[in-house]
Amino acid sequence: MAYSVAVAGASGYAGGELLRLLAGHPEFDVRTVTANSNAGARLLDVQPHLRSLAHLTLVETTPETLSGHDIVFLALPHGKSGELTSHLPADTLVVDCGADHRLVSEEDWAAFYGGDYYGAWAYGVPELPLAGGAAGQKQRDRLVGARRIAAPGCNASTVSLALAPGIRAGVIEAADIVAVLAVGPSGAGKSLTNANLASEILGSANPYAIGGVHRHIPEIAQNLRWAGAVAPTISFTPVIVPMSRGILATSTARIVPGTSAAAVRAAWEEAYANEPFVQVLPAGQFPRTADVLGANTALIGLAVDEAAGRVVTVTAVDNLAKGTAGAAIQSANIALGLPETSGLSVNGVAP
């Protein structure tokens, strides 16, 4: 039996990736695709790579067009889902790929986003360890049966996955985390800004949101606190590089003095031992973003730098797949009790 699905914001990059993945999901049936300025166009005119969805036409994003589906995926600009979703039935599964419902702290929301705060929904990077409960608890537990889900931010889930195991196991310090990310420009969506022009990005590495202002910082801190961190501090710097997709996050943290290199590695390997979508590479191996292109996979390479006193993790994620659309579908699978891997590939498209 297929669930009926609507995708709001279907003309953007996140919406397009949702549709690409949904088209291959055995249980989900996309019935409605909505857009704003592109409403009225054939989906194929806006997303010419989605050949199997040639029959769909974009309609306006309204409570009416979204109603009557089992599942609604939202890929809207930040600040657009709060009002809209208040009109949807409570038993509709709504998965929001935007930031509106991720943060539990209204203060964080005000400091990093601003505007009306609509409150947090069930948030989950399924594989992230949770402190304070039974051993082995993870964020996925919070998604089971949920009907309002805030899918995580791409950079936030990448850095959180990279460091939470060490926090949870008590082998690294949450103070003085440093993360620097090479990211593709698709994370910025289709905004028509000078900085997003191809000529600006080709052949160049361009930093942005430097010095503690990036909006994913409070989300990472929230995840790490849930993993047991007391007062995490995170220096976070994203650098746009000339690849359309991908995040390669170098996330480092100080090792708790006296911890052996083996104990450090063991924390990660145990945390993700049975996870299909989060894999720790053998010692000496590190991932490339091409390895996860289009896949719902996060690959983590890890080294202990004894001279620097830091663990260095390098994590590769496709920002649109595992970082956004794949995460959203994985969440929906969990919420509905489907196999968590339904419709999601672990294999990247390389080279």
Q: Which of residues 44-63 bind a second copy (CB under 8 A)?
A: 45, 47-53
CB 351 to a second copy: min, Å: 4
**Is 202 an interacting residue with respect to a second copy (CB under 8 A)?**
yes
CB 70 to a second copy: min, Å: 22
Return the ∠ at Cα 216 (arms to 344 and 142), rounded to 5°: 55
**Is 199 an interacting residue with respect to a second copy (CB under 8 A)?**
yes
Q: Hey, which residues between 94 and 123 contact a second copy (CB under 8 A)?
A: none
Pick the catalytic residue from 88, 154, 240, 338: 154
Q: Hey, which residues between 288 and 327 contact a second copy (CB under 8 A)?
A: 288-295, 297, 299, 301, 303-310, 312, 314, 316
Question: Mask: binding to a second copy, 6-45, rule CB under 8 A, as x and -?
Answer: -------x--x---x--xx--------------------x
DSSP string, 37-57: TTTTSBHHHH-TT-GGGTT-B
Contact between 121 and 127 under an 8 Å Cβ cutoff? The reply is no
Question: Mask: binding to a second copy, 329-348, rule CB under 8 A, as x and -?
Answer: ----------------xxxx
Burial class (CB in 10 A: 0-12, 13-18, 19+), 31: middle
Per CB under 8 A, the segment of 55-63, 115-123, 152-160, 190-198 that binds a second copy is 190-198
What is the chain's alpha carbon radius of gyration, rounded to the nearest angstrom?
A: 19
Q: Which of 2, 230, 285, 339 binds a second copy (CB under 8 A)?
A: 285
Q: Hey, which residues between 248 and 267 contact a second copy (CB under 8 A)?
A: 248, 250, 252, 254
**Is 205 an interacting residue with respect to a second copy (CB under 8 A)?**
yes
SS3 312: strand
**Is 196 an interacting residue with respect to a second copy (CB under 8 A)?**
yes
SS3 279: strand
User: 272 to each of 94, 121, 129, 153, 189, how far by Cα in Å?
Assistant: 27, 25, 9, 20, 31
Contact between 136 and 213 under an 8 Å Cβ cutoff? The reply is no
CB 113 to a second copy: min, Å: 16
Count of chain residues binding a second copy (CB under 8 A): 91
CA atoms within 13 A on the CB side of 264: 26
Q: Which of 29, 141, 200, 275 binds a second copy (CB under 8 A)?
A: 200
The span from the CA of 298 to the CA of 292, in Å, is 7
- The token pair that represents 208 in the structure block: 């942005």
Q: Catalytic residues, which ones?
A: 154
